[in-house]
Structure 1
Amino acid sequence: MELWTLTEGVEAAVREVGAKLAAQRPAEPTPGRTPQEAMARFAEVDGPAAAELRERLAALRPAAGWVDEELDGTVPAEGEWWLCDATDGAVQYLLGQPQWAVTATLVRDGAAVLAVVHAPELAGGRTYRAVLGGGAQLDGRPIAPLPRELGVTVAGTSQPPLVAADPVALRRAGESLSAMAGAVLAVRNLGPTALQVAQVGSGHLSLFWEYGADAGNLLSGALIASEAGATVTDAAGAAWTATADSFLAAAPGLHEDAVGVLRAVS
């Protein structure tokens, strides 16, 4: 099956799962005084959604494996695997906010070859999709990053789920935030990592950076951004791979300047 043809089925699956999750999302913040209480509530909605997504994608690509846990930031280096998150942006979802997404990525030999990122509650529903070598789209239309000078750039950032266990990445995240905040118009964390990186591809953000291993959250957005024409590297400007310990996506004219800002981070 050609990848673009496969993408149609993947998009249908994530849209259906997203619609069901949106219907269940609380309008008010979910009570959860402790991490255990919050995660128990989240599991009630995410578990069935993830199971449905897995069933539908397995039917589309039976030979592909399934990555069960995206939080540790690693993916298999060989073979074809589905890497998915039924409720990407769990924190926002539980707080009754619209900045969450359903993501589905087909990974081949450690690199993304197909990605769909669907945000059911942003502007009535937005869907990014891309295939390796085939470009990227938002709601069926080709996208491209927008050129801007660094001083009027809105930059996105985030931290990997387990960044607290990586003191080097945690320190670099703090140092880079100070450096970037002094160079751009504004720095924001606008929700799921995958969605923010995809938004670099469509010009809704001009750049996104992060420190720490986070392939599980970055692969889908990285494919969309790069296929749209953004420059995707590590923070030092070298080629980004799923094993890299930093990430940078930027509009081509901004990338060199962004690398220069991050160069101050040791």
Structure 2
Amino acid sequence: MNGHSEYQELLPQAVEVAHEVGAHVEARHSSTPVAADDMSAVLAAFHTVDDPAAALLRRRLGAIRPQAVSADDELGPVVAMDGEMWVCDAIDGAVQFLQGLPYWGVSIALVRDGEPVLAVLWMPRLDLLYTAIIGGGARLNGRPVTASRKKLAAALVCTSQPPFNTEPERAGTSLTAMLRHTLAVRNLGPTSLQIAQVASGHVDAFWEYGEDANNLLPGALIAREGGAIVTDADGNPWHPTSTSFLAAAPTLHADVLKVLGTPP
């Protein structure tokens, strides 16, 4: 059995897991912001929902792929470079979840020798299901998708700030520079969703500085399989240890790199 067909058979099982965990979380989500006024209270409220959901997610994924280990920390930047690992998040978009917003979901990536080979992103409140397997293209709600063909001046470009931002100054100057060259710069929710939306043309490019492998891996595969170019912000091949990230439509990837490398 070749790798492509192996992952093709695994994909519907991973989708089923994402739907199950998404339903579990959705039943505990409120459109009213969490009533907490300090960080400890916010974290306590979040862990009440996230801990059992994360345990369910890891348990179900472990059952369908026993040889794959699970990442210990869904926020950590460390990804195994050998063997298979599930990198997953039961509530991807924690801040939005806590604020009562619909921009959260379940993200799953199967990583083999440091490279994503399968990805599922399920957004229950938005009814969006992005999937991809390596060499098999990207899909949104079952339909094949491709990146846009826009030029930079007409592009919607998105960005975010990861928990492990080692280059905050560069992030700030790049935002100023990008605002001068694009139609709009926005942050539209979870990092994984914004990158996946590059694959479907809803977003034309996404960039970020900092170590953020666990949030980037699912979207990176979906974007790449949708025809987007995925590199770091200097144009080098992106890998989980990179300290910057760029996914862009082929028509504007080179222009985005120029902007990111130009002082504002």
Normalising by structure 2, we get a TM-score of 0.96
**Structure 1 position 248, deviation (Å):** 0.5
Preserved CA contact (<8 Å) 1:99 1:192: yes
- Structure 1 vs Structure 2 CA RMSD: 1.2
Partner of 2:81: 77
Partner of 1:135: 137
Could you list the structure 1 runs, at least 4 aligned residues long, displaced by more than 3 angstroms after superposition. Answer: none
Name stretches of at least 5 consecutive residues in structure 2 with no aligned partner.
none
**Structure 1 position 265, deviation (Å):** 5.1
Partner of 2:255: 257
Preserved CA contact (<8 Å) 1:156 1:196: yes
2:97 is paired with a residue whose SS is helix
Preserved CA contact (<8 Å) 1:230 1:249: yes
**Structure 1 position 198, deviation (Å):** 0.3
Normalising by structure 1, we get a TM-score of 0.95
Name stretches of at least 5 consecutive residues in structure 1 with no aligned partner.
none
* AA of the residue aligned to 2:261: R
**Structure 1 position 31, deviation (Å):** 1.3
- What do residues 216-258 of structure 1 show as CA deviations (whole Å, max 9, x unaligned)? 1101100000011001011111111111111100100010110
2:211 is paired with a residue whose SS is coil
Partner of 1:247: 245
**Structure 1 position 102, deviation (Å):** 0.4
2: CA distance, partners of 1:72 / 1:19:
25
2:10 is paired with a residue whose SS is helix
2:27 is paired with a residue whose SS is helix
* AA of the residue aligned to 1:233: T
Which range moves more in the overlay, 90-99 or 144-153?
144-153
Of 40, 61, 66, 1:62 maps to 66
Partner of 2:194: 196
* AA of the residue aligned to 2:210: G
Partner of 1:159: 161
* AA of the residue aligned to 1:37: A
1:252 is paired with a residue whose SS is coil
Preserved CA contact (<8 Å) 1:172 1:265: no
Of 5, 24, 31, 2:28 maps to 24
* AA of the residue aligned to 1:224: I
